[in-house]
């Protein structure tokens, strides 16, 4: 029996897909930009405090991806 013939099958709404895109891509792109910025500046100027920014950027990226995974931990496949 295919998914379309299953009476419990619900077509995913566009709002859910927008939520997935926003929750995954925005922190990922923003976090990666911060990691690149602080990483490049830390490698060029190691004694100017960019290491703290790099650590904060890595923690932010990890936390935002963990929050995304936690938010959708019980979500069915689309």
pLDDT given for residue 67 in this prediction: 82
* Ranges of each domain in the chain: 14-71
pLDDT given for residue 11 in this prediction: 61
* Structure confidence at residue 56 as a pLDDT band (50, 70, 90): very high
Tokens of 51: 């290491």
Rounded mean pLDDT of 6-16? 62
Residue 39: name the closest of 26, 30, 47, 51 by CA. 51
- pTM here is 0.66
Tokens of 60: 């932010």
pLDDT given for residue 19 in this prediction: 75
pLDDT > 70 in the chain, percent:
77
């Amino acid at each position: 029996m295919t998914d379309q013939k299953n009476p419990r099958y619900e077509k995913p709404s566009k709002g859910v897909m927008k939520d997935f895109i926003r929750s995954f891509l925005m922190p990922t792109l923003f976090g990666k930009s911060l990691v690149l910025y602080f990483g490049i500046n830390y490698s060029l100027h190691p004694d100017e405090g960019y290491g703290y920014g790099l650590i904060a950027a890595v923690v932010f990226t990890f936390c935002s991806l963990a929050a995304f995974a936690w938010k959708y931990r019980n979500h069915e496949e689309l």
